[in-house]
Amino acid sequence: MSADRPAPSPGPILVVNPNSSQSVTDGLSRALERFRVPGGPAIECLTIAEGPPGIITQRHVEEAGLRLADLAERRPDASAFVIACYSDPGIDLVRSVTAAPVYGIQEAGVLSALARADRIGVIAVAATSIPRHLRYLRRMGVESRLAGELALDGLSVAESGHGEAAFAQLADRGERLKALGAGAVVLGCAGMAAQRARLEKRLGLPVVDPTQAAVAMALGGILAAAA
Amino acid sequence: MSADRPAPSPGPILVVNPNSSQSVTDGLSRALERFRVPGGPAIECLTIAEGPPGIITQRHVEEAGLRLADLAERRPDASAFVIACYSDPGIDLVRSVTAAPVYGIQEAGVLSALARADRIGVIAVAATSIPRHLRYLRRMGVESRLAGELALDGLSVAESGHGEAAFAQLADRGERLKALGAGAVVLGCAGMAAQRARLEKRLGLPVVDPTQAAVAMALGGILAAAA
Amino acid sequence: MSADRPAPSPGPILVVNPNSSQSVTDGLSRALERFRVPGGPAIECLTIAEGPPGIITQRHVEEAGLRLADLAERRPDASAFVIACYSDPGIDLVRSVTAAPVYGIQEAGVLSALARADRIGVIAVAATSIPRHLRYLRRMGVESRLAGELALDGLSVAESGHGEAAFAQLADRGERLKALGAGAVVLGCAGMAAQRARLEKRLGLPVVDPTQAAVAMALGGILAAAA
Amino acid sequence: MSADRPAPSPGPILVVNPNSSQSVTDGLSRALERFRVPGGPAIECLTIAEGPPGIITQRHVEEAGLRLADLAERRPDASAFVIACYSDPGIDLVRSVTAAPVYGIQEAGVLSALARADRIGVIAVAATSIPRHLRYLRRMGVESRLAGELALDGLSVAESGHGEAAFAQLADRGERLKALGAGAVVLGCAGMAAQRARLEKRLGLPVVDPTQAAVAMALGGILAAAA
Amino acid sequence: MSADRPAPSPGPILVVNPNSSQSVTDGLSRALERFRVPGGPAIECLTIAEGPPGIITQRHVEEAGLRLADLAERRPDASAFVIACYSDPGIDLVRSVTAAPVYGIQEAGVLSALARADRIGVIAVAATSIPRHLRYLRRMGVESRLAGELALDGLSVAESGHGEAAFAQLADRGERLKALGAGAVVLGCAGMAAQRARLEKRLGLPVVDPTQAAVAMALGGILAAAA
Amino acid sequence: MSADRPAPSPGPILVVNPNSSQSVTDGLSRALERFRVPGGPAIECLTIAEGPPGIITQRHVEEAGLRLADLAERRPDASAFVIACYSDPGIDLVRSVTAAPVYGIQEAGVLSALARADRIGVIAVAATSIPRHLRYLRRMGVESRLAGELALDGLSVAESGHGEAAFAQLADRGERLKALGAGAVVLGCAGMAAQRARLEKRLGLPVVDPTQAAVAMALGGILAAAA
């Protein structure tokens, strides 16, 4: 398309929080405010109301995947989907039901961090998620670049996103990952964006919020298509 | 930073073409026009005038790296650097002389394609570059996700970016990569952006222009920092 | 437990066909007849009646996973579960809802073939499944031992399991995998067991039926527990 | 073969202990008692009388391999061979002299554990064996799934198989492997089967005896051939 | 040791041909003539008279290993051993019985070629050896750098080492490996040294004779020890 | 070439120290004294006078590469080049400007150590170099064989090469690498050769000086060419 004619308005980027917590979704939306650029796509942050309060169990993950696919089918207007849960629930499924690009935040967060540093670290909210994440990194074929993954202790998803206690744990885990050789750190959850900048400053390393990373990729694809 | 106050204007994203061809730089700039979003950073596309007409030899690559580092040192105002040559010349060096994020377009292009498909293909301008690219993918630790890399035949960088003859070759290589299992294709050169959309439509697969991918990542980082 | 007292009777091995085709389930049951050893566990082959006629799409895979988990929760008497679909639908989920061993037939078939030969080949029913299988092999971390995977052409799951036309294709694919270096061949579907022995004789290579392989592992675990 | 006619009686599974210790062989035989199913193959556990008391040195390993091959050549009646030493001595050689399936207990134990958990741990009898095992896992191409391997301290093969002192060490190593992320544990020796069930209960993880795992695979192959 | 006093004369490098063919050993000795440097160690090329005429079967490999270890034990005067058979028979065993360095020619040939080019090719004498070689490369952990391995057709080890017919096949295989991306070629047998220089000239690529490579490493170790 | 006529004298092996420290070069030359064999090539150790006192920063590395290429172009008489800096500066570049073999000491040192032991350790002079080395090992595709890399603390390149304080650190790091499973140790710098023999004796493991390893390979290639 020639650059001197306005592109038809692209459909929105749908950022879908598969848990039912509206406050988490509101946090996502705030973290993405700057990505709502004039002339660019809308960025809608959606809550799946029938989801569980948090995606904790493997059943939560699988059910979230189906709900995300249902939503994708109902929204042919979307120009991209972002699955805003670090387990990337339903990523293969959602890709199979829509022609629009589908970004999982674990994939996008990890791949974006790999563009910043040779070896990376991940901070998970809970230790129980780490085996799932490692399995996914092996599937991605990038585990040779993981310096380590460490979990917070005793915090919920919501609690991890703000407050001094959470920050202290994030800083501790970040320092330990740095000692293990991490040159960049990925926040391994959708709800930690508000801690990103402060943690980056503290560590002196790039800290990647995975939802922002996924939206940046989605936005880039849309801008490229309009070029 | 609170979202209701304007962020201080970020410095520009510098997209640096290490060859001396202004027409290539102009093409880059056109391909990035849509990424110049209101309120976002300027995107300056620079030519290194003392560079060679094209980055062909390994010496070109190495000299380009040093020139890129010199430029990075002269531009502390930049909020990000994009090395707009698919050999990612000087990526380690430039990272060592600036605190700003530095994106290589091979890294960014490949990593962005990996966010779209399980296995990817790459189209190089010339067969002689393929060993260098494969070596780099091994260093990146992602070679298990390469379906294949194929080269155009008898075209210069400039010629690869437009015209029916070039497109016919791109389509042929893309179809062959698809047959090898590629679910997305990376354009393995800075100068092919103008062919991207048409090729994507022809192949029915995501086609990633690596400079656009790198700028999307750079833009995302800046928007995240302002969030 | 001492060997001179009879072990308490173990619960059954549940072999669950997640598609609704009773004839496929009946074929599974026939292929497992010899595994019903005196004193050993019953081997129940179940059909998920509300499943689709075949597990074709990614949605089929994901929905099958949830149904399998539901069934697992309803059958605490089972001493092992075998997911009798080569996509191993719901394997992480079923494992999360039961303490009994859960075997996926892709995992069991591939791992059993790896106990017979250094490099293996897989015959898929349909080409569209191959990317899913390759992704799974990467997750398993064993892709360096795959000589190749080839698909039948134009046959349904049911058709692949009997008849000369299907056998001719199986033999052709097997010979090609052998030429690629495969020292054993895995039948990449739950429905091909009736072709196994003939194909093995034809190729002069071990041919592994994945459901039999999974049941052998499940049976072995039960016998070991009784030892 | 149709299921309504009795299969010709299959030849025995030969489980060969390459050391000269009859008591180890007797222990193997006890651990396999439940695998002697009515109508199934005999399971003969053999001692190689001219072998050393234990397979300790690399020379022991190599000589064991040749003796195992000699035995395999003398026993064309066997329907399968199990090499009951965790170094899998002579596995390539025995496979080259017989058309019957040949299972090494390290391969079978590891592969069976991989069917139960994403990452596994191994308990070796002696630290000196670990480099040999790791080299073998690399050859198998599965080292990315090893959480760790730890050795007992100061115990002979025979001592490792019973008694409180040995169990205490097994439990300690198992707990440490669990902390390293192992989801299943392989007993890295032919002589520990009698500790398996108790250790499994203690750890809350599947514990695989490798000889039982190999016999289960061998039995499965024979039952499949009779199906 | 100070450089101004003569070093005590080092023991010989023993290059052991495990087959009984004296003509092969004589060829090895000729190929190593230039490595017998004044002041350096003697290079003795030995034939194992009780070996088979060629190392063809896996049993040959294993028996060769034991004979090599016996020889190593009888020659404590040796300053290094070179196992001059591309299957590296007995490499673990010989290392276990002597404190002197032990070089396998496959390891040395491959590693030396990797010091010359990013990806390498191998020419085997017979197709039946290729699976064994590939398994060994996986154990070495370097298979990602193999461009390919191709076999000669219908030639014995002795025939491969001279003559136009053999050279024509070598040149053909070399050209095909080059087309596959090999930047250096390893002669995958102890008997091809006399063809090395001519093949290197023909291909325009480094061609590595593995016995020369192993002796160079052995010599280097001795010279370093004397430094 | 027939062995009974003297070969034309080969050109020298140029061992190039890219830093400006003549004392380092002198140390190299001493460590290579025994490699100057009668009838063999001269071994010239050169200092790049315009280089920095040490190769510390990434810019040092890159500039060194260009200077090494310049030197290579001025010395067509050389029969081989050895880049005597463990970062292997300019290895791709120098290879692109000369037809003579080019050896990097990191590559040669690591590959030579891999011919001695299954897993290896590396001792770096400074912790800041380790990420660069690890990245290079990943590019080499051999990282699965690294037991670990540890750095000295507070010593310059020059200081690392002699004295009790340096030796004490070397011995400590070597012992720790041995405990991590290293079966051979590489000195990760050009300046430590004088400590090699003593450290080897202390550790009871092969210790590889990388410059000696590279010169051994270069010498071997020249002797092979003369065979």
Give the integer Cα–Cα distance in Å for C192 and B205: 33
Given a cut of 60, whether residue E5 has pLDDT beyond it is no
Residue D130 sits at the chain E interface (C-beta within 8 Å): no
Read off the pLDDT of residues E81-104 as tens digits, 9 standing for 90 and up. Answer: 999 999 999 999 999 999 999 999
Nearest residue on chain C to A139, judged by CA atoms?
C139
| Residue owning tokens 């890709």 | A95
pLDDT reported for residue D8:
63
Interchain CB distance below 8 Å, A119 and F134: yes
Predicted confidence at residue B31, as pLDDT, reads 97
Neighbours of chain B (3+ CB pairs under 8 A): A, C, E, F
The predicted-structure confidence for D54-85, as pLDDT tens digits, reads as follows: 898 999 999 999 999 999 999 999 999 999 99
**Cβ-based neighbours of D101, under 8 Å, separated by 6 or more:** C116, C206, D79, D80, D81, D218, D221
Give residue C1's pLDDT. 39
Tell me the nearest-neighbour CA distance from D55 into chain E, angstroms: 13
Residue E8 predicted with pLDDT over 70: no
pLDDT of residue A9: 81
CA distance, residue B100 to nearest chain F CA (Å)? 16
pLDDT bucket at A80, cuts 50 / 70 / 90: very high
Residues in chain F, pLDDT under 70: 1-8
Query: DSSP string covering F173-204, please?
Result: HHHHHHHTT-SEEEEESTT-GGGHHHHHHHHT
pLDDT at F156: 84
Kindly report, residue by residue over D105-125, the tens digit of the pLDDT: 999 999 999 999 999 999 999
Q: What is the pLDDT of residues C5-49, one digit of tens each?
A: 555 688 999 999 999 999 999 999 999 999 999 999 999 999 999
CA pair distance D62, D46, nearest whole angstrom: 18
What is the C-alpha separation between D31 and D191, in angstroms, rounded? 9
Chain C residues touching B118 at Cβ < 8 A = 131, 134-135
Q: What is the pLDDT of residues C106-141, one digit of tens each?
A: 999 999 999 999 999 999 999 999 999 999 999 999
Percent of chain B topping pLDDT 90: 88
What pLDDT is attached to residue F42?
Answer: 98
> What's the CA gap between F66 and B89, in Å, rounded?
13
- The share of chain B scoring above pLDDT 70, in percent, equals 96
CA distance F227 to F217: 15
State whether D135 and E139 contact (CB < 8 Å).
yes
Report the share of chain E in percent with pLDDT over 90. 88
Question: What pLDDT, on the 0 to 100 scale, is given for residue C227?
Answer: 82
* Mean pLDDT in consecutive groups of 10 residues from the start of chain B, 227 residues: 57 96 94 96 96 91 97 98 97 97 98 98 95 96 97 88 93 98 97 96 98 98 93
Q: Is the pLDDT of residue A47 over 80?
A: yes
The pairing of strands A184-188 and D102-104 is unpaired
A134-181, pLDDT tens digit by residue? 999 999 999 999 999 999 999 988 788 889 999 999 999 999 999 999
Q: What is the pLDDT of residues C50-69, one digit of tens each?
A: 999 889 899 999 999 999 99
Q: C110, C136 in Cβ contact below 8 A?
A: no
Q: What is the ipTM of this complex?
A: 0.95
> With 50 as the cut, is the pLDDT of residue E2 above it?
no
**Looking at residues D33-44, what average pLDDT do you find?**
96
Neighbours of chain C (3+ CB pairs under 8 A): A, B, D, E
CA distance C49 to chain D (A): 26
Q: Which of B58, B139, B141 sits opposite F93 (nearest CB)?
A: B58
Percent of chain F with pLDDT over 90: 88
Q: What is the mean pLDDT of residues C172-182?
A: 97
Average pLDDT over residues A21-30: 94
- Residue E9's pLDDT band, with cuts at 50, 70 and 90, is confident
- C-proximal residues of B, 3-62, CB under 8 Å: none
| Contact residues for A138 (Cβ-Cβ < 8 A; gap 6+) | C138, C139, C141, D144
> Between the CA of residue B101 and those of A107, A112, B221, C196, what are the distances in Å?
20, 12, 8, 57
Q: What is the pLDDT of residue D77?
A: 97
Question: CB–CB of C63 and A61 under 8 A?
Answer: no
Asked if E223 has any chain D CB less than 8 Å from its own CB, the reply is no
Per-residue pLDDT, averaged over A88-115, amounts to: 97
**CB neighbours of C138 closer than 8 A, spacing ≥ 6?**
A138, A139, A141, B144
The whole-number average pLDDT for the span A87-94 is 97
- pLDDT class for D2, splitting at 50, 70, 90? very low
- The amino acid that residue C111 corresponds to is L
State pLDDT tens for residues D151-166: 999 998 878 888 899 9
Q: Does B116 touch chain C (CB under 8 A)?
A: no
- Best probe of the A interface among F138, F139, F145, F146, by most A CBs < 10 A, is F138
Q: Note whether B66 contacts F: Cβ–Cβ < 8 A.
A: yes
Per the CB < 8 Å rule, is A224 touching B209? yes
How far, in Å, CA of B149 to CA of B124, rounded? 7
Cβ distance B118 to C130 less than 8 Å, yes or no, reads no
pTM: 0.95
What value does the mean pLDDT take over residues D174-184?
97
The proportion of chain C whose per-residue pLDDT surpasses 70, expressed as a percent, equals 96
Beta pairing, strands E80-83 & A102-104: unpaired
Q: Which residue of F has its CA nearest to A182?
A: F131
Q: Please report the number of interchain residue pairs, chain D to chain F, with beta-carbon separation below 8 angstroms.
A: 11
Are the C-beta atoms of residues E17 and E191 closer than 8 Å to each other? no
Contact between chains at B119 and C130 (C-beta distance less than 8 A): no
Tell me whether residues F138 and B135 touch, CB distance under 8 A.
no
Q: Tell me, what's the pLDDT at A159?
A: 85
Facing residue for D223 by CB, picked from C206, C216, C227? C216
In percent, the amount of chain D with pLDDT more than 90 equals 88
Q: Which residues of F touch D138 (CB under 8 A)?
A: 144
Q: Name which residue leads in pLDDT, F20 or E157.
A: F20
**pLDDT for position E3:** 45
pLDDT of C6 = 53
Domains of chain F, start order: 13-105+212-226 (3.40.50.12500), 107-209 (3.40.50.12500)
Q: What is the C-alpha separation between A217 and A81, in angstroms, rounded? A: 11
Question: Given pLDDT bands bounded at 50, 70 and 90, which one contains residue C3?
Answer: very low
Average pLDDT of the segment spanning E36-56: 94
Bridge partners (DSSP) of residue B102 are B81
Q: Tell me the HSE value of A104 on the side-chain side, using a 13 A CA sphere.
A: 28
